[in-house]
Amino acid sequence: MLSYYLKLPYNTTILPTRGENLVPNRVRNVNVKAYVKIYGLEGDKDLKFLLDGGNLVKIRSGSWQKSRFFRLQEDCETLSYDSQKILKKIKTYSINEIESVRKGRESEGLNKHTDPCDEDRCFSIIFNDRKKNLDLMAASPEEADQWVNSLEKVIGNMRNLDHQQKSEHWIISCMRKADKNGDNMMSLKEVKHFLRQINVEVSDAYAEDIFKKCDESNSGTLEGPEIKLFYSLLTKREEIDVIYGKYAKTDKQMSAADLLEFLQKEQRQVVTIEEALRLISKYEVDPVAKENKQMTKDGFLMYLHREEGFILNPAHKPLYQDMNQPLNHYYISSSHNTYLMEDQLKGPSSTEAYIKALLKSCRCVELDCWDGVNGEPVIYHGYTLTSKVLFKDVIQAIKNYAFKTSDYPVILSLENHCTLEQQKLMAHYLISILGDALLTKPLGKTVPTSLPSPEELKGKILVKGKRLNKLDAAFNHNVITEDETVSEEDEAADVTKENGQKPKSKSKIKLAKELSDIVIYCKSVHFNSFEHSRDNQSCYEMASFKESKAFHLAEASGTAFMHHNMDKLSRIYPAGSRTDSSNYNPVPMWNVGCQIVALNFQTPCKEMYLNQGRFLPNGFCGYILKPEFQRDPSSQFHPNKLTKGPWLKKKNFHIMVISAQQLPKLNKNKEKSIVDPLVKVEIHGVPADNGKKETHHINNNGFNPMWNQHFKFEISVPDLAILQFVVEDYDAASQNDFIGQYCLPLTSVQNGYRHVPLLTKRGDPISSARLFVHLMLLDAQ
């Protein structure tokens, strides 16, 4: 791809351009063709539409709706428009930052500030981080469709690029930025600028040395093949050369037998020669080598950068677990205060927060319901300054997005503070908006003795809340005709005012029959003791625990807590004192089998990294089957007091942190801001297994730092262990800055030489950035 880019003639005409503030057409056309080639979109009409650009109305409020010229820049990954701000004439957005493009008036802004008759002309661009949505309106429905379809195609192509393509795309972008005068040649000064662009600081002497090696024509600039040579020297992976050289025993290439030896010895895979031949057929790029059933170094690198070479076992990426066990046999990805975008004292409430959580496969969301004006129930954090959002708008958002990422059931955890009339309206909205998706009666014909499975509840939405009677009433026609009083939810009773005082509300509330009747498998009850629950609690009755109480029970009565969770659901929620919406460690709760471990999804933090890692396998469906020893009634497992049992599988886990590639610059506005990366490796599981190791830091190199540091962890209960990598920018004077992270269950880790993709704080992929490690999980002697 890169050589193709370098050989393009200057007079190549690709696509016409419109708009102002564009780079010269000659340079733009050369750059466009290079990127189009990488994407495989030559001649594509949708890409041409975006590169041409057009006018769209940008909508901020009812009074602020202004026309702007939008277009895709020549790198095919930057959307821009002409800003009216004096100091910033062009506003840009990276395609990599876009989470989704939504057709219609589905954002809060468009829903509030546009007319329903303009539905077909509206669309929103939603970003991964806290960046505000772009709410836009096209001149016609056809043009809106064109924008949405074209953007989705480019976003999809960007996400489907392999690592090598992403790497080349990124390097070409950096070269383009370094080529200040747009002459497609690189002077020594531009080479130095380019090196800083790719996050590596070198001495002037080294830069001059590499420049002279590549400037074979002695012209004082690099062009054509000289830039390709420069690229080859820059991207040389010494660690890959060593590994490949050890096993390339057949005319300095890997035969199928050589590759099989590598797979068996290094990757510790139980495979046959057929698997080696399959990998050669799939990844070898040289047709002659492929014909000879051999793998070149380029093919080997391609294999290491694809699914088979990643740390996550590819067999665990799709849905692979038994989904026919009772609901309480699974960990369930769960959110607390789902409506909040920021802190829980004065932050905004939004339907967008529900959408983002559901799209991350969250399967239990929380709705704090209060009386609103004009008889309309609202959702917000009571007794605080957080903004309010209409209950019906939240239910509509849930209806639209509940099953976009996962087909498995969604639980609505209601915290009900409403009067009877508004409760009845809540029930009306739930039934009328959710329709057939809402579970309004038990699945069987008899009173259940165990909960249904996620498979049986596919596509269903369950309500968790108070119920006026036992579920038996649904079968024996024990009809209640009057609303009755019930105790508040445990969490509702814990709500405090901003000054920390308890509100003066009563501990009991009137419950509307209409709302009571749609609570089926998640009836909220107060927890007294494990013995009381065992003797009095039905399988569909569940308790909620504040984190402090849950941690105490897990520490003092771990085995009893685990047995409680074998046939009942438990929900854990953060303490009300976490006004900044921080999170507690979810791992000790999973260790005793708690299913609904609710976290503040709006807060990027270490605890959320762990949550994403826990639910990464099994098709990212939001449900993970608990280990068998947490489901077996005869089990005596206690995470804090390990005894012999099927859970005890002592392992030695060896990790070599070898290198990293293309780490992002943290301060892109400061050219000389180069990272000094280090890697933290942690194990989170039962207390005996928790551990942390850390590499030394590498000065001034985020492009290809190399550590070659070995760590060893002793693991007792691998079924509960989570492996976490965190890459940081070392700072001697203050706290290290975050660069990237990745988590996954130890049971889903592949042995051998593996690449580790890196994610942002919010769990979005960092394009091109990788760790390269060697992993070995061995039985302890």
Is 60 assigned to a binding site?
yes
Is 166 assigned to a binding site?
no
Is 62 assigned to a binding site?
yes
| Cα–Cα distance for residue pair 732/285, rounded to 1 Å | 45
Is 82 assigned to a binding site?
yes
Is 423 assigned to a binding site?
no
Is 47 assigned to a binding site?
no
Backbone φ, ψ for residue 317 (5° rounding): -70, -45
Is 488 assigned to a binding site?
no
**Active site includes 163?**
no
Type of residue numbered 543: A
Is 487 assigned to a binding site?
no
Is 421 assigned to a binding site?
no
Sign of CA dihedral 155, 161, 167, 171: negative
Is 183 assigned to a binding site?
no
How would you class 779 by CB atoms within 10 Å of its CB: exposed for 0-12, middle for 13-18, buried for 19 or more? exposed
Q: How many CB atoms lie within 10 A of CB 171?
A: 22
Is 59 assigned to a binding site?
yes
The residues facing 222 across adjacent strands are 186
Residues 216 and 226: beta-carbon distance below 8 Å: yes
Backbone φ, ψ for residue 135 (5° rounding): -100, 120
Is 700 assigned to a binding site?
yes
Q: At what angle do helices 45-52 and 141-160 cross, to 10 degrees?
A: 110
What is the H or E stretch that residue 415 is in? strand 410-416
Is 78 assigned to a binding site?
yes
Is 83 assigned to a binding site?
yes
∠667-670-696 over CA atoms, to 5°?
55
Is 90 assigned to a binding site?
no
Is 324 assigned to a binding site?
no
Sign of CA dihedral 613, 619, 622, 627: negative
Q: Which of 163, 336, 638, 697 is catalytic?
A: 336
Give Cα separations from 69 to 49, 138, 144, 264 (angstroms). 13, 11, 14, 56
Q: Which of 169, 305, 381, 755 is catalytic?
A: 381
Is 303 assigned to a binding site?
no
Q: How many CB atoms lie within 10 A of CB 222?
A: 25
| Cα–Cα distance for residue pair 348/389, rounded to 1 Å | 9
The residues facing 126 across adjacent strands are 100
Is 72 assigned to a binding site?
yes
**Active site includes 336?**
yes
Closest C-alpha to 757, from 242, 421, 132, 312: 312
Is 751 assigned to a binding site?
no
Is 238 assigned to a binding site?
no
Q: What does DSSP assign to residue 533?
A: H
Binding residue numbers for Ca(2+): 337, 366, 368, 415, 674, 676, 700, 729-731
Q: Which residues are annotated as a binding site?
A: 58-85, 337, 366, 368, 415, 464, 466, 544, 571, 674, 676, 700, 729-731
Give catalytic residue positions. 336, 381
Q: Which residues are annotated as a binding site for substrate?
A: 58-85, 464, 466, 544, 571
